[in-house]
Amino acid sequence: MNGDTVLITGVDGFLGGRITRRILDSTDLKVLGLTMSMEWAQNMCTREGIDPTDRLAFMLNDDFLDGDRVEWPLFGVVHLAFSRRMQPAADIASSIVFAAKVFHRLADLGADRVIYMSSQGVYGNTDQIRTEQTPPAPATQYTMAKYAAEVLFHDILCHARHHTALRLDPVAQSQNVIKGLCRSAATGSIRLTGGKQVFSFIDAADAAEAVIAMLLAQGDWATVYNVGWNRKRYTLVELAELIADAAEARGMERPSIFLEENDTALWAGMDSTRFMEKTGWMPAIELRDTVCAMLGEGEGEGK
């Protein structure tokens, strides 16, 4: 741990920006962000309200992979860069290739304290609360790609004492289901299809704090940790009711909820006990508070 810099791939993404801001605000560490575009990196700084500082620098992905010297010694690494789940199959496949190149470069640098941001989706659609012992069973092209990159990560960086995959609950602010329900709430009517779906979420700020807690964790690291609200999950109807409550709390008319039942099933939910015991981290932001903030942002966009 001789370095003072956290390397973040995908720094210009939503979670990359939140993690960058929290590292700069709450630690003395520097951040070196990898990006496909310097314009995207600057847009992230504007979005997150990050002022220029000598503790933040950016490097293009290709420059890093081509072996340009990393002048700031590394304290740790967070690999976030990955295609979004709804992007074309070719983009998802290229994310695996890019991840492997990054992992090999990190191995060449002798990087330690390396975090790969994986997904709870690697567990598939089991109806049980997932623990780290739950067998991976990816059910989609995207989650299979996330798991494939996780396998490469452990294989390539096996000599790093501190390397772990954080299987993260869906980040609430990035989830279309919550965004869609919030938009519907603003119209006064939430229409649901299914009813048997079960969801779990984590606020982006809690996810950022979890990453920092892992980077600073002492002692040996397990190769996998679950990170999310510990064993907390919501049915689709409970989620709609929570959003309706939040809308009412913001002074909006309480939306009506209509359910068209069918057999569509979706399961989520993780046991994060092992991560919390390792790091001392605990999620602090309730989903209702996250939704209230998202509804407030929606009001601002409509003005």
Q: Give 7-17 pLDDT, tens digit per residue.
A: 999 999 999 99
Closest CA to 19 of 297, 214, 294, 183: 214
Closest CA to 158 of 111, 117, 123: 111
Q: Give 257-270 pLDDT, tens digit per residue.
A: 999 999 888 899 99
- Percentage of residues in the chain having pLDDT higher than 90: 90
CB-CB contact of 168 with 119 (8 Å): yes
Q: Give 210-229 pLDDT, tens digit per residue.
A: 999 999 999 999 999 999 99
Task: Give me the pLDDT at residue 2, please.
Answer: 72
Return all residues near 37 (Cβ < 8 A) that are at least 6 apart: 12, 60
Between 299 and 153, where is the model more confident?
Answer: 153
Other Cβ atoms within 10 Å of 257 Cβ, number: 17
pLDDT band, residue 298 (cuts 50/70/90) = low
Q: Give 156-210 pLDDT, tens digit per residue.
A: 999 998 999 999 999 999 999 999 999 999 999 999 999 889 999 999 999 999 9
Q: What are phi and psi of 266, to 5 degrees?
A: -150, 135
Task: Give me the pLDDT at residue 301, please.
Answer: 45
Q: Is the pLDDT assigned to residue 89 strictly greater than 50?
A: yes
What is the per-residue DSSP string for 80-120?
-----TTS-HHHHHHHHHHHHHHHHHHHHHT--SEEEEEEG
pTM more than 0.85? yes
Q: Which residue has the tokens 């567990």?
A: 123
